[in-house]
Structures are given as C-alpha cells and as structure tokens.
Structure 1
Amino acid sequence: MKISVRPATTFEDVKTMVGPKRPDANVCWCLSYRIPSRDNVALRGPARGELVEQLCRQDPPPGVLAYDGDEVVGWAGVQPRAGTGFARNRKIPHVDSVDVWSVWCIRVRPGHRGKGISHSLLAGAVDFARGQGAPALEGYPVDNQGRKVDLTMAYVGTRKLFESAGFTKTADTNSVLNGFPRVLMRLDLG
C-alpha cells in the first residue's frame, strides 16, 4: 500500500473524512478548533459543510488528505495557529512569539486503521506546513503512556506518534482529553 498525502482542496474527499452522514447534522466537520467557539456553536447543519467547502478553495486549504490510490483514507487539520482556536486557548500555552502552525486533528477511515496512515498524515502535514513557509509546527496530543485511547478522542494523536515524526515535547498543557493530559509537541521546520 502506497499512501500519498495532498492538500485538502477536494471538498467531496474532505466531506468523506469529516462530514456527517446526514447533511443537517451538527457534527464537528473539524471546525471546533478551526473557528472561534462562538461561531462554531452558532453554525448549524448544512452551513457547516458550506463553510468547509469555502475553506477548501482558500490558500492554504484547511489541511491534508491521505489517499490509497484514488481512495481517500485520512485527514489532518493543519493551519497557522493564529487562525485557529489555539491562538486564544487558555489551556494550551504559547511558548514563544514564533508564528507556528498547528496540527490538531488526525483521522483515519474505519477499515484503514492500523496500517500506519496516521504516520503518513503527520508527515504530510509537516511537508505541507514547511511548503507554506511555516517556521515550526505544533501538535497537542495526549500523553497516554501506551494506554488505549477511545477512538472518538484519538483524533488529537498520541505523544508517541508525534515523537516518531521528530516532534519534541515543548510544554505541558492544562488540557485533558479522555482522562489523559495533553502535551505541546513541536517540530522546527527552518
């Protein structure tokens, strides 16, 4: 299996990865960290998908997609931190004034998990951010110390995943997800 990772410019593929089964559902669409909380709560039903479709046409697009041949199998949300909820998040610290990018969501489709696709997605997010001129990339995974993470909460990744991609722990956070502390992991891209 050869996985390729590309910028998320194809809305239908993003929809396959993060959209709901019903268009009127109020699921995340990977917007909860992408837009201010108040806007996220106010945005309902089909308007959520319409916003994501607009984001797919922007430069840079909202993230990257992993493909096994022509089939989309994964998603990673990656953008400049200044344009995400992490710019204002009180639980995730800012360690300096560098205009870092953030990767906050890594999702692999059911039936394709356990094949290393999350590693390919994170590597693709690194390449994408570097190609956009990002000086560094941050992630905020759980430090689960090898224990099982509930699949609905695994989207943030694990410390081990980020370490295997060359990231180092830069700071503790005040954020906890699924009972595990989240840590700030960083990779300099310069």
Structure 2
Amino acid sequence: MTELDIRPATSWPDVEAVFGPQGAHGGCWCLWFRATGAHFRELKGEGARDRLRALVDAPGPAPGVLAFLDGAPVGWCAVAPREDHLRLAKSPAMKPLDAAEPGVWAVTCFYVTRSGRGKGIPVALLSGAVDYAASCGARAVEGYPIDTDRKLMAAELYHGWRALFDAAGFREVARRTPTRPVMRRDLRA
C-alpha cells in the first residue's frame, strides 16, 4: 500500500528533487508565468532556479504544493495568488475576467516525476492546491487546462487537462481559444 501526501512547497531540497538538475522542462523551474518574456529569457536556467529557491525560502505562502509518495517527493503544482503570475494578465487566452477582484488564486503548472506518473498524482496535487489556497484565504481558484481531443505528450500537460479540473469541481467561466478554457472553483458561499 502506497501513501500519498500533499504539502506546501517549503523545502528547497524537496522541490529540487522533483524538478531535477535541469529544472523540469528545459530549465523553466516553473517561472514561465511569474515573469515577463524578456525577464524569463534572462532568468532561464540557473537564474530561474535561484528565483524559485528564493520563493520557496521566503516567508509567506509557498509558491506551490508538492506530492510525496511513500515519503519521496514526486510531483509539483504551482498555486499562488493570480497577481503573482504576471503572464496571466497579458495572455489573450488566460487573462483575468475580473482583474481587480481580490482573493483569486491560480493553478498554472503541474509536474510529475517519471516515478510518480500513472499513479493519480495530478488529481491529488490539484486537490491539495485548492485546499492550500483556501487555507491561505483564497476565495476562488482558477486553472487554464488544455481541452482537446488530440492525444497529448506528457510535456504538453503542464497546464492540466479539462477532465482533471471538471472532476475537482471547477466550472468553465470563459473560453477565448478553442482549446484553453478558464476554469474556476469558488471556495466561499
């Protein structure tokens, strides 16, 4: 019997164990949404790693949650106040419907190690991300999953997929492109 646990990402060695020495996908270190295009190009690689480490080590809310399978870190989900994800504000597909509305958090990225794949880790990560956002006072959580009939490679699923968000109680609130809905789960009545 395996044990799965979701925790805030407050331990740099655990985050680094999930992302590996190259920073998950091409040195991103899950900073794509947190930086403008020019700034991200400057950060990519070691600079991005150092920036994520600073976010993990900083006081205040963690920049995401981690999944642990039998005590070993195997997955990541970025979740933070929407305004922390600078790219969302400028994205034609993902820009906020209500930019001035406080208390909306965003789930922007999932990453699961090879050893964690095929074990339902994204389901647990999304549930844990919602719970974490709620514990930090969020009134809603948004996600921006892929919604397509085309078979996707693992690297294309970092946003999550529509059925994952549907099953977690999110509802579509906007769709500006054919394959990218804006999904939201309200946390307060």
TM-score over 0.5 for the pair? yes
Paired residue secondary structure (1:172)? strand
Where do residues 31-180 of structure 1 align in structure 2 (5 Å cutoff)?
31-58=31-58, 59-84=60-85, 85-96=87-98, 97-99=100-102, 100-145=104-149, 147-174=150-177
What is the TM-score when the length of structure 2 is the normalising length? 0.89
The percent of aligned pairs where both chains have the same amino acid is 39
8 Å contact from structure 2 (residues 106, 141) kept in 1: yes
Per-residue CA deviations over 1:61-85 (Å, capped at 9, x if unaligned) read 1100000132001100111111112
The separation in 2 between residues aligned to 1:28 and 1:44, in whole angstroms, is 6
The separation in 2 between residues aligned to 1:189 and 1:160, in whole angstroms, is 19
* Residue identity opposite 1:54 in structure 2: A
Greater helix percent: which structure? 2
1:177 corresponds in structure 2 to none
* Residue identity opposite 1:111 in structure 2: S
The alpha carbon displacement at 1:2 in A equals: 2.2
8 Å contact from structure 1 (residues 6, 65) kept in 2: yes
The list of structure 1 runs, each at least 4 consecutive aligned residues, that deviate by more than 3 angstroms after superposition, is: 19-22
RMSD (CA atoms):
1.9
The alpha carbon displacement at 1:106 in A equals: 1.1
Alignment gaps of 5+ in structure 2 = none
The size of the alignment, in residue pairs, is 182
8 Å contact from structure 1 (residues 19, 27) kept in 2: no
Paired residue secondary structure (1:156)? coil
What is the TM-score when the length of structure 1 is the normalising length? 0.88
The separation in 1 between residues aligned to 2:159 and 2:21, in whole angstroms, is 19
The alpha carbon displacement at 1:26 in A equals: 6.0
